[in-house]
Amino acid sequence: MELLSGGDMLIRALSDEGVEYIYGYPGGAALHIYDALYRQSDVKHVLVRHEQAATHMADGYARAAGKAGVVLVTSGPGATNTVTGIATAYMDSVPMVVLCAQVPSYLIGEDAFQETDIIGVSRPIVKHSMSVKNPEEIPEIIKKAFFLAQSGRPGPVVVDIPKDMTLPNERYEYSYPSKVKLRSYGPATKGHTGQIKKAVDMIFEAKRPVLYAGGGVILGKASDQLTELAKILDVPVTNTLMGLGAYPATDRQYVGMLGMHGTYEANMTMHHSDLIIAVGARFDDRVTNNTAKFCPNAKIVHIDIDPASISKTVTVDVPIVGPVDQVLNEMLDLVKGAKKEIEKEALVSWWRQVDEWKAYHGMRYNSDGEFIKPQQAIETLYKVTKGDAYVTSDVGQHQMFASQYYKFDKPNRWINSGGLGTMGFGLPAAMGIKLNFPDNDVVCVTGEGSFQMNIQELSTCKQYNLPVKILNLNNQALGMVKQWQDLNYEARHAHSYMESLPDFQKLIEAYGHVALRVEKLADLESAMEEAFAMKDRLVFMDVMVDPSEHVYPMQVPTGSMRDMMLSKTERT
């Protein structure tokens, strides 16, 4: 057997795990590991400009590829800088392995230079974490880390590696385990057949059914099964913010995103349904609005890999714990083989109602006035990219506009921080995707507030030639905050202005990229065409949009799902 140092074992284990890129930043405690990286070429390292960006790069890749992203940082500040990125991945169940170097084990507990208890700091925001106590354990710990991060309900795993575990001159026998066994961990591999039958019976009896699909469908790679089931049953489908693309947005049966900024028709359909089939969704407070008034006449079937997601906020009637693809396959078999079918007559009148809601409001907005509307910018982006780009986003109004007006027909294409709502996520996430999918258009929809939270990564883009496109919906304000202040604080705009915006043109050019500024609607499409035609350049499109625009529909706080403001003046 081969003899390797701890540092070499770590990198070799990554390579044996099939890792091509890792994202990170060096420092004292990580130097043996960085030296091991230097002496090989299988695993490539991307040097970011801030560790938070390394986590978002890994995260963007993980969401697009459906595989764990890998981060490597030094101890202390390197490790603490990853916290926001770990929390972001945790909230959206993204598989990630974060390797944090640590001070030598004999110094732990002595407040040594750059010592932080990162296991303790990250404890509430990880799926699991492990410390290396003995260099020989490294291959097994890495195998476990990937297994835990990627199986069941995915999530981030932190590995803490004291410097003396990676000493270059101490060598050990290396072999990478093919399997791990964990007696205390075993996510469900199959849904309960009796429960699945019960669910199918309920579907056949339903008069106003709706499919409510969440991010779990994408994580569980079950879009095809979901779509097939929806097609066979001919029922309306709504996707959550995390589930966009799980069901194709351009399909006739799609009623749009649901929830706080969901479509009128999606929220009405949910509220009036008599059966909700929730797949890989978690009844988040941004979806349900007031749970006491949630869908008063609906029975609920809930399919999820995580038992703790079931009946956490809304009590459900038929829980099914299992991988969504397997459960949907079994449901499909039952539906196809059944003597019964869904009640056709009831469905016809249900569709008449749903189509009426679609026709009543849709996603219209007022496009008068001198300004470009942010909605127009997203519609133009959709047109120019032919609906086929990877779209990452930051957090705010621009994020909601992107989710509402870009019609995602494929899973893994809409990449946003839904659970944590992390400003600064968009650019590094786009970089992680572009690096791994160089032939695809990757665009980050951002706002001038969010963009400045990880703006330093423009430098990383230069170094690694990452020609992402950036669409800045520039409303010269922390727009979403301002919208809430307009609605709830009599327009007292406490600190929601960006009073001294940089000259983005100069800034982008200083980093060696291209910037375009668009002020007139007439120039919007041609500017975007121009930007996307520059295949090998990063192009920043600074689009000046109406600063007074609000995101609608918007659910009314403490109301039911159907209680919405539809514009500044209309309410349901």
Ligand X SMILES: Cc1ncc(C[n+]2csc(CCOP(=O)(O)OP(=O)(O)O)c2C)c(N)n1
Which positions touch ligand X (CB under 6 A)?
Answer: 394-398, 421-423, 447-450, 473, 475, 477-481
Q: Which is nearer to Mg ion, 420 or 453 (by Cβ)?
A: 453
Closest separation in Å from C-beta 155 to other proteins:
10
106 binds, among Mg ion, other proteins, ligand X, none (CB under 5 to 8 A by kind): none
Question: Is 140 in the active site?
Answer: no
CA–CA distance, 290 with 295 (Å, rounded to integer): 10
Tabulate helix, strand, coil % of the chain (nearest 5).
Answer: 40, 20, 40
Piece in contact with Mg ion (CB under 5 A), picked from 22-30, 148-156, 217-225, 468-476: 468-476
Give the number of other Cβ atoms within 10 Å of residue 309's Cβ: 23
Closest separation in Å from C-beta 25 to Mg ion:
28
Token pair 């009831």 in the structure block, residue: 346
Cis ω for the linkage preceding 236 (within 30 of 0): no
481 binds, among Mg ion, other proteins, ligand X, none (CB under 5 to 8 A by kind): ligand X
Of 430, 467, 427, 434, the closest CA to residue 451 belongs to 427
Of 400, 450, 458, 396, the closest CA to residue 425 belongs to 450
Residues in contact with other proteins by the rule CB under 8 A: 119-120, 123-124, 127-129, 131, 148, 182-185, 306-308, 311-312, 315
Q: Which is nearer to ligand X, 305 or 444 (by Cβ)?
A: 444
CA–CA distance, 344 with 358 (Å, rounded to integer): 21
CA–CA distance, 61 with 39 (Å, rounded to integer): 25
Closest separation in Å from C-beta 194 to other proteins:
20
CA–CA distance, 503 with 513 (Å, rounded to integer): 14
Piece in contact with Mg ion (CB under 5 A), picked from 24-32, 138-146, 365-373, 474-482: 474-482
Instruction: State whether residue 379 is helix, strand or coil.
Output: helix
Residue of 2, 40, 44, 113 marked catalytic? 113
Cα-flanking dihedrals φ and ψ of residue 136, to 5°?
Answer: -60, -20
**Residue 127 CA: distances (Å) to CA of 54, 64, 158, 464:** 19, 20, 8, 31
Residue of 127, 143, 144, 163 marked catalytic? 163
112 binds, among Mg ion, other proteins, ligand X, none (CB under 5 to 8 A by kind): none
Cα-flanking dihedrals φ and ψ of residue 285, to 5°?
Answer: -65, -20
Q: Which is nearer to ligand X, 155 or 396 (by Cβ)?
A: 396
Instruction: State the angle between helix axes of 374-384 and 397-405 in degrees (0 to 180), rounded to the nearest 10.
Output: 50
Token pair 């189509």 in the structure block, residue: 355
Q: Which is nearer to ligand X, 214 or 418 (by Cβ)?
A: 418
Q: Is residue 475 a contact point for Mg ion (CB under 5 A)?
A: yes
26 with 193: CB under 8 angstroms?
no
Residue of 114, 456, 476, 505 marked catalytic? 114
Q: Which is nearer to Mg ion, 436 or 446 (by Cβ)?
A: 446
Residue of 9, 17, 51, 130 marked catalytic? 51
201 binds, among other proteins, Mg ion, ligand X, none (CB under 5 to 8 A by kind): none
CA–CA distance, 287 with 284 (Å, rounded to integer): 5
Question: Is 114 in the active site?
Answer: yes
**Residue 423 CA: distances (Å) to CA of 84, 148, 517:** 10, 27, 22
Listing DSSP states for 405-455 in one string gives HS---STT-EE---SS--TT-HHHHHHHHHHH-TTS-EEEEE-HHHHTTSG
Q: Which amino acid is at 239?
A: N
Residue ranges of alpha helices (H) inside 437-467 are: 448-451, 458-464
394 binds, among Mg ion, ligand X, other proteins, none (CB under 5 to 8 A by kind): ligand X
337 binds, among other proteins, Mg ion, ligand X, none (CB under 5 to 8 A by kind): none
Residue of 57, 242, 480, 541 marked catalytic? 480
Give the number of other Cβ atoms within 10 Å of residue 346's Cβ: 15
480 binds, among other proteins, Mg ion, ligand X, none (CB under 5 to 8 A by kind): ligand X
Closest separation in Å from C-beta 394 to Mg ion:
9
292: DSSP letter = G
CA–CA distance, 299 with 212 (Å, rounded to integer): 13
547 binds, among Mg ion, other proteins, ligand X, none (CB under 5 to 8 A by kind): none
Torsion, Cα of 84, 90, 95, 96 (10° steps) = 30
Q: Which residues in the 448-467 window bind Mg ion by CB under 5 A?
A: 449
Closest separation in Å from C-beta 120 to other proteins:
7
Q: Is residue 424 a contact point for Mg ion (CB under 5 A)?
A: no
Question: Is 519 in the active site?
Answer: no
Q: Is residue 496 a contact point for Mg ion (CB under 5 A)?
A: no
Closest separation in Å from C-beta 567 to ligand X:
18
Q: Which is nearer to other proteins, 315 or 465 (by Cβ)?
A: 315
Closest separation in Å from C-beta 399 to ligand X:
7
Instruction: State whether residue 497 is helix, strand or coil.
Output: strand
CA–CA distance, 229 with 217 (Å, rounded to integer): 13
Piece in contact with Mg ion (CB under 5 A), picked from 151-159, 215-223, 366-374, 446-454: 446-454
Among 479, 524, 551, 572, binds Mg ion (CB under 5 A): 479
Piece in contact with Mg ion (CB under 5 A), picked from 238-246, 344-352, 385-393, 470-478: 470-478
Closest separation in Å from C-beta 405 to Mg ion:
17
CA–CA distance, 506 with 512 (Å, rounded to integer): 10
Closest separation in Å from C-beta 34 to Mg ion:
38
Q: Which is nearer to other proteins, 312 or 410 (by Cβ)?
A: 312
State the residues that interact with Mg ion by CB under 5 A.
447, 449, 475, 479
The catalytic residue positions are 51, 113-114, 163, 480
